[in-house]
Amino acid sequence: AQSVTQLDSQVPVFEEAPVELRCNYSSSVSVYLFWYVQYPNQGLQLLLKYLSGSTLVKGINGFEAEFNKSQTSFHLRKPSVHISDTAEYFCAVSLTQGAQKLVFGQGTRLTINP
């Protein structure tokens, strides 16, 4: 079975500061990795995904993530955040075969302060 751990439940950051949201996963087989963002009272929007190839993945809204197989991590970063980045962020994994049964972490609430 797969599992995902997001190490921080809340991350407060000042506007224009860099941010890193941490994600570790556990799986005995290869997985795909994802980061989703959820704005208040909305559904999830895909930020970026790692399927294969380059370990540095660039996504929307200036976010990027790096896949580290040895540390089983997939941390999300942004060099300079905006107020509009305030949201809940979810890391997720799925098997590389079959249906997309995503396994989500508990979420990290990112709060941007002016």
User: Among residues 19 and 103, whose Cβ is nearest to another protein?
Assistant: 103
Which of 21, 103, 110, 112 contacts another protein by CB under 8 A? 103
Angle, CA 9 vertex, CA 94 and CA 53 arms, to 5°: 35
φ, ψ at 85 (rounded to 5°): -80, -5
DSSP characters for 98-112?
SS---EE---EEEEE
Q: How far is the CB of 105 from another protein (least distance, A)?
A: 5
Which of 16, 26, 46, 71 contacts another protein by CB under 8 A? 46
Question: Nearest-CA neighbor of 103 among 41, 55, 36?
Answer: 36
Which of 28, 41, 52, 54 contacts another protein by CB under 8 A? 41
**Per CB under 8 A, which of residues 7..36 are in contact with another protein?**
36
% helix / strand / coil in the chain, to the nearest 5? 5, 55, 40
User: Among residues 28 and 100, whose Cβ is nearest to another protein?
Assistant: 100
Q: Which amino acid is at 38?
A: Q
Binding residues for another protein, rule: CB under 8 A, are: 4, 36, 41-46, 49, 90, 92, 98-107
